Structure 1
Amino acid sequence: MTVLARLAVTLALLGYAGAAGVIAQLAGTPLPFMLGPLIAVALLVCTRAGRIIPDGYGFPQWVRIAFISIIGLMIGAQVTPALFENAPRLMLSLGALTAFVVIALGGNYLLFRRLGGYDRPTAFFSAAPGGLYESIALGEAAGADLPRLMTQQFLRIVFVVSVLPIAVSLHLGQPVGSAAGVSMAHGPVPWSALPWLLLAGIAGWLMGRALRLPAPQLTGPLAVAAALNLAGLVHLDVPTWLVNLAQVVIGTALGMRFAGIGRGMLLKGAALAGVSGAFMLVLAGVFALLLMPHMGEGFDTLLISYAPGGVTEMGLIALSLAANPAFVTMHHILRILLTVVAISALGRRLRA
């Protein structure tokens, strides 16, 4: 495909996804500008209608990275000194996260091995409650069934991102976040602020790659915005329209990943992802209830902190629900690091 043709397809796809986001917002769906595009694009690429997308087209990764950086900047702007004041609380949370990863990994392995009938490497790396790219890379090296592993890991994120906002709404007995009219950004932001956002996003992404941070396109800009905020140098505000556009781009990129997945594999993977996701959400709820008296955070914040979705997506949910996004994102980064350490160490024994 030519560059112009690829650009035209991308713009058309984003226009379609953006319309789905507006419809989802009118319907009162939680996180409408991400879930609406995700569902609409997934339905498009999984049906015959997907034939309108030219062969060889893939959603541009640089576009996805750029808008994930925007979300990282927004989350980083929420970081305050109070987040690091209570060291015993952080140590307790780290210990609880370690226990969560071990229990979730073991429970999921039994599920995929016994109920799914997967071979040992595929079941083990599909069971990882985090580290999407790392689990796929390590699983491929261990001889796992790569299409099943990719499907299972991706559906884990989709399930949690789709179910969690609705579950929190039901728990509280009322619409929350964007469904209740809560915005994830502040009021009017001058156009003069956009160049600073661009510079901070690029600097953060380059720093994240250089330091090999997990999800560098998110964590790098997050760290830069947090450092600027903590030092009192500048507070980066992201306009509402840019936040909504970032969600549309992320939802579109997630939906495009359904392309090429066979119907049988998708149905089986979705059923297993539903059981696995429900197990991990219940487990996260148990940890949230146990930690509430000791952490000084509400049940919804702790539930989102332990729910095994993607870092970017869970940060968006936290922003939407006003659930201490910096606290939530810190937990998900730690969860991914712990998961990668666990599957790396145990994966060597599995290969042996």
Structure 2
Amino acid sequence: MLNRHVIRGALALVLLALAGLGAWSYSLPPASAPADMPPLATGEMDAMLAALKPPRPRRPLVAIVSINDATETTDYLMPTGILRRAGVADVVMLATGPGPVKLFPALTVQADATLAHFDAQHPEGADYVIVPAMSRDDDPAVLAWLRGQSRKGAIILGVCAGAKVVAAAGLLDGKRATTHWYYLQDMLDKHPSIAYVADRRVVADRGVATSTGISASMPMMLILIEAMAGRQKAEAVARDLGLPAWDARHASHAFKLTRPFATTVLGNVLAFWNRERIGVELRSGMDEVSLALVADAWSRTYRSRAVSFAATSQAIETRDKVRVIPEAAPADLSSARHMAAFTDQRPAQALDRTLQAIAGRYGARTADVVALQLEYPWRASP
């Protein structure tokens, strides 16, 4: 009898919680209408390029920092892959400690060095430090290291919610900045002296640059390449990425929490029995930028999770020397739906095709949920 009352009570609490969530979701605005991006002011891009010029007269040294237990997949791998294929700087993937770096929402990689090893090898510091989103904004080792690199003259670039980490280090105080739409208000509440700049994918101010959501890594890195090596080099890399145009323009108001987003996520989460593992085969020489985008996107549906696999347990080296550690063997994924990772496609096309595949499998609204998380201007549903 007691068990029956407990079960009934638990069910009542669940129903009340669901009712509350339903009421909350219907209080949200409907889907955002497609929006035009406001134009750039005369000289705005020139000023940004000047702000991102290499701080020292040498081949630039770029350090991309991470914490071992949870660093955002695309934020960490896309800057690495784009800058390395440009060949205009030395790019080092760093972690707070030795061992693998577990990325979220997918993939595991091996960093090139720890922060301590980098400091021993480069006491003068990096020219640029790229800060991805991390599960913790206040990791003491990261914050202290960022402050030290800034004091040595490095330009700090916060990618996506990595801006929150940069802000936690005190490096955005009194400066103009942006970040991922979902984390913007939290950052401004914690750091009220930051001057938010709307409708810009990239904002640079006095030794620090920040970007909007995850997909902004691509235009941000192209702007950085142009600052380092000129427009012609940036255009060549953009062609390799499959990106026809890029600049700092953005339609910020098109990215916000909406009713379709909330109800779709809620529905997908509640369908807990309907989960899939999507196998992503690792192959030597594959494009790490395409890999990151594909694995990231499939792991943001609230219906599926990308799992990397290979015939070996050893790390697989990608096109630009990123070491990706397989998470499973082929036999472990016998029940998974193996899917083409589109690594034969240029990264921009790989992302578009993956979103189309997600729409085909889980519906247009789920694909829109993924695109909104990536802050990517793409919509499948009307």
Q: How does the TM-score come out when normalised to structure 2?
A: 0.26
Name the structure with the higher helix share: 1
Higher relative contact order (Cα pairs below 8 Å, separated by 6+ residues): 1
Of structures 1 and 2, the larger Rg is shown by 2
Q: How does the TM-score come out when normalised to structure 1?
A: 0.28
